[in-house]
Amino acid sequence: MSKIVERIGEYIEFKGLKVSRVESSINVSNGTLSKPIANNKSIKTETLEKFLSFPEYSDINLQWLFTGEGSVIINERNYHIVAEEQLQYANLTHEELVYEFLKHKKESNEDIDQLVKSVGNIELELDEIKEKKDAN
């Protein structure tokens, strides 16, 4: 979870906030976030849940938070669509979130494998067309 904590620190910096203000707003003790952020340590799942459930921080892109992919915040245009998609992750435990991430990663890898095969087939078809054209 230290990568997630690191990204929470990046989000706080991106938004121009102070960690102490974030800690206060989500009702956790001083140091609950600042020490893990400074020392690249994990936080409790409860702290992550408090952070993610606080409305002021609802613009954080969960895909970016968990994977590092995408933008730090959700752009306003897509906010409502993405927010609805993120609701499915709101009450999951850390283990469940990791499981979901790995499941989506596997599905993405399978999609990539299928696309690579499709590109290979298209390349073969193009080669056959070129050979036929050259033969004429």
Q: Are 88 and 96 in contact (CB under 8 A)?
A: no
One domain, residues 2 and 57: yes
Domain shared by 28 and 86, yes or no:
yes
Mean pLDDT value across residues 55-64: 89
Six-digit token string for 68: 């590092």
For 70-74, which contacts have Cβ atoms below 8 Å and span 24 or more sequence positions? 72/7, 72/10, 72/11, 72/14, 73/11, 73/14, 73/15
Q: State the pLDDT at residue 15.
A: 87
- CB-hemisphere CA count at 13 Å for 93? 2
Same domain, 55 and 99: no
Q: Which two tokens stand for residue 3?
A: 């990568």
Place of tokens 């906010």: 79
- In terms of domains, do 52 and 96 share one? no
pTM of the entire structure? 0.55
What residue has token string 């979130």?
A: 97
Residues 75 and 98 in one domain: no
> What is the tens place of the pLDDT at every residue in 82-103?
555 565 666 677 788 778 778 8
80, pLDDT greater than 60: no
Bridge partners (DSSP) listed for residue 73:
60
